[in-house]
Amino acid sequence: MQRILNFDEPLVSETEDFELVVGRRQAAALTFLALVVVALCSGASYLAGKAIAPREEAPVPMIKLEPAPAPATEATLVPPMFPSVTVASPAPVLEAPLFASPVAQAIYIQVGAVDKGVATILAEGLRKHELDSFVAPGPSEKAFRVLIGPFPDAAAYQRAQAVVDRLGLASFARRYQVQ
């Protein structure tokens, strides 16, 4: 104890050399630490580069509409079984194309932005409820918007919105701008 408490005498003499021994465990720990530092720096530089890089939006694919061929039907006249009952022949209805682009500055009700197959089924189902629906290009190449409209006035919009609400579909109004 005397030697530890003696502050006048230096603990290590200045003439002594010391040796730093690095074993396998120390070498492995230093190598692992260097690997972690390199991985962290690489990840940080990747994220910084990704944040700085300008984003390019994919161009909206233009859907070319081809007119549907007129269905070839043959009508045969059958004498009525009940002469007092008259059957009115349905007038030919020109149906709007299922795939179209929205008109600029017009107001639409957007029902969803989904895959092409689901959008087609949804638009056809809305047409069965007497809504003027169609499928338009969406925010990406794989997503398509299901739109109802355009509406000539506020009353037509309110009627369509009431039908959509009655069907229980989530929707919102949207005005399309020129792109």
> CA 111, CA 171: separation in Å to the nearest integer?
5
Domain tally, the chain:
2
At 57-114, the pLDDT tens digits run 666 666 565 665 665 555 555 555 545 544 444 444 446 778 888 888 888 899 988 9
34 within domain boundaries: yes
- Which residues form the domain of 41? 22-56
> What CATH code is carried by the domain that includes residue 157?
3.30.70.1070
61 within domain boundaries: no
pLDDT of residue 87: 46
In terms of pLDDT, which residue wins out, 60 or 168?
168
Cβ–Cβ under 8 Å, residues 148 and 76: no
Closest by CA position to 146, among listed 94, 177, 108: 108
Q: Are strands 172-175 and 144-148 parallel, antiparallel or unpaired?
A: unpaired
Share of the chain above pLDDT 90, in %: 26
16 within domain boundaries: no
63 within domain boundaries: no
66 within domain boundaries: no
pLDDT band at 146 (very low <50, low <70, confident <90, very high): very high
Q: What is the mean pLDDT of the chain?
A: 78
43 within domain boundaries: yes
48 within domain boundaries: yes
Whether residues 112 and 171 share a domain: the answer is yes
